Amino acid sequence: MQPGQRPTSPASRSAAPSEDTAARAPGSTAAPRPEPAAPDPATTQVPPAPVSMDGPASSRPGTRPTGLSARLGRRLRWGGLVRRRDTTWLPAEPADDPTAPPPAEDTPVVTVRAPVATGFLLATGVMLALSVVWVLQTNGQLLVWIAAALFIALGLDPVVRRIERWGAPRWAGVLAAALGLAAVAGAIVALLVPTVVEQSTQLVTGLPATVEDVMGTPWFQQLDRQFRIRDAMNQQVEGITSDGAALFSDLVALGQTLLNGAFSVLIVVVLSLYFLASLPQVKSWVYRMAPRSKRGRVEVLGEEISSSVGYYVMGQTVVAVLNGTVAFLAMSIAGTPFAALLAFAAAILAFIPLVGAVLGGTLLTLMSLLESWQSAAVFAAIYFLYLQVEAYVVSPRVMARTVAVPASVAVIAVIAGGALLGPLGAIMGIPTAAAILLLVREVLIPRQDER
């Protein structure tokens, strides 16, 4: 038998002579045997080459082949079935075919191959989340200081970069920004603090007479007859003055609050200067955490976010200064007492977006009402007219380089920030929302459009 020739069974060998004998029986004429046709090279199948036993283990007979191609071949020989460790046979996922029937409702149960490792990872994630919550609860004040310092540093960064574009090194820009900040703070202290202290003393000294004047008005007497406001106020005053120890503890607590506030301001100023000096290195370190293929895009987005936050802080500062100046001029024209003190309060409230200026104008109108209704009317007319000019002329020009935030999103951001971090959170709410909207517009929406 030649190599590659198919062996014949005994039945076929016994049947072959009988057919030949019948063909050559006596008295019969044997037909000439036809010549075999020449094989067609296009249709002739070449017999497989003999398998060498000296080849690799994957090609030897009796040895199970390995590798990706071998696994795919076994899957095809099994009829498209996927074998799992629990000896359950599931059909392979069919290709996307629009004519295929919808899948059955009962889906196969997903088995966990490493339950111990999965449970350990879940427990580790829960412990990390609890640790983050504990850190936020125990170091909340420190995190507020860091956030405020970073906010101020981003606000001063456009000034430093402008000085750098003039050819000066960054340390010179940081020094100029620090000196300018110190000069502004010194001017505020020199001009406003003596006036504010004097007017605050006058306010406290004349408060009893002012309260008596208010109580003597007809509208207050009518309210007092309905709600007994005078009796409630007298009870509160007697409770405060009768207990000397409680009054002393309240004064001590007030002093501690003032000292803590001064210490917090000092810490925030120092941290902001450090952040301002090292801001390029910090941003470069953050950008290097991104993959190399996406690093350029991350850097562009980071610079855009930091620039928008910085210009927002500068613009809000300009708006607050203008607000306080207009409030002081309006109260001076209307004859409202304690104009410098109230104007300083209005400038501080103007840092809170959307509601700060309106709240400050309402409080100042009420203080002007203590003088006379004519003073209150004059002040309200001037101040609220300026608010319209600020909303439609000043703010669009000052905030032109920041990211536009819809009004509804701005209101939600201010409320959420105020609920989380108080006034500082309300101030930081809008730039944070602007950064989130920028990420959604530049990252999430293009990714969804590509699908």
Give domain status of residue 181, yes or no.
Answer: yes
pLDDT of residue 244: 58
Mean pLDDT of the chain: 75
Confidence (pLDDT) at 329? 92
Q: What b/e string do you get for 388-417 counting C-beta neighbours within 10 Å, with b at 16 or more?
A: eebeeebbeebbeebbebeeebbbebbeeb
Q: Which residues of the chain have pLDDT under 70?
A: 1-114, 196, 199, 203, 207, 237-248, 400-403
CA distances from 341 to 319, 321, 328, 443 (A): 18, 14, 9, 47
Token pair in block for residue 206? 């004349």
> How many other CB atoms are found less than 10 A from the CB of residue 274?
13
Report strand pairing: 89-91 vs 81-83.
antiparallel
CB burial of residue 442 (10 Å; 0-12, 13-18, 19+): middle
388 closest CA partner among 366, 409, 357:
357
Domain holding 266, by residue range, is 147-289
The H or E element containing residue 415 is helix 407-421
Residue 198 forms part of a structural domain? yes
DSSP 110-149: PPPS-HHHHHHHHHHHHHHHHHHHHHHHHSHHHHHHHHHH
Residue 178 forms part of a structural domain: yes
Tell me, what's the pLDDT at 3?
A: 46
Residue 417 in any domain: the answer is no
Count CB atoms within 10 A of the CB of residue 34: 6
In a domain, 253, yes or no: yes
Q: Give the whole-angstrom CA distance, residue 387 versus residue 394.
A: 9
396 in any annotated domain: no
Condensed to tens digits (0 to 9), the pLDDT of residues 327-377 reads: 999 998 988 888 888 888 899 888 888 888 889 999 999 888 878 888 889
The Cβ of residue 278 has, within 10 Å, a number of other Cβ atoms equal to 14
What's phi and psi for 35, nearest 5 deg? Answer: -70, 140
Q: Is residue 165 part of a domain?
A: yes
Residue 59 has what pLDDT?
46
Give the number of domains in the chain: 1
Q: Residue type at 265?
A: V
| pLDDT at residue number 39 | 52
Give the span between the Cα atoms of 414 and 406, in whole angstroms.
12
pLDDT for 368 equals 87
**DSSP line for 215-250:** HTSHHHHHHHHHH-HHHHHHHHHHHHHH-HHHHHHH
Q: What is the 3-state secondary structure (H, E, C) of 429-448?
A: HHHHHHHHHHHHHHHHHHHH
The answer to whether residue 265 is domain-embedded is yes
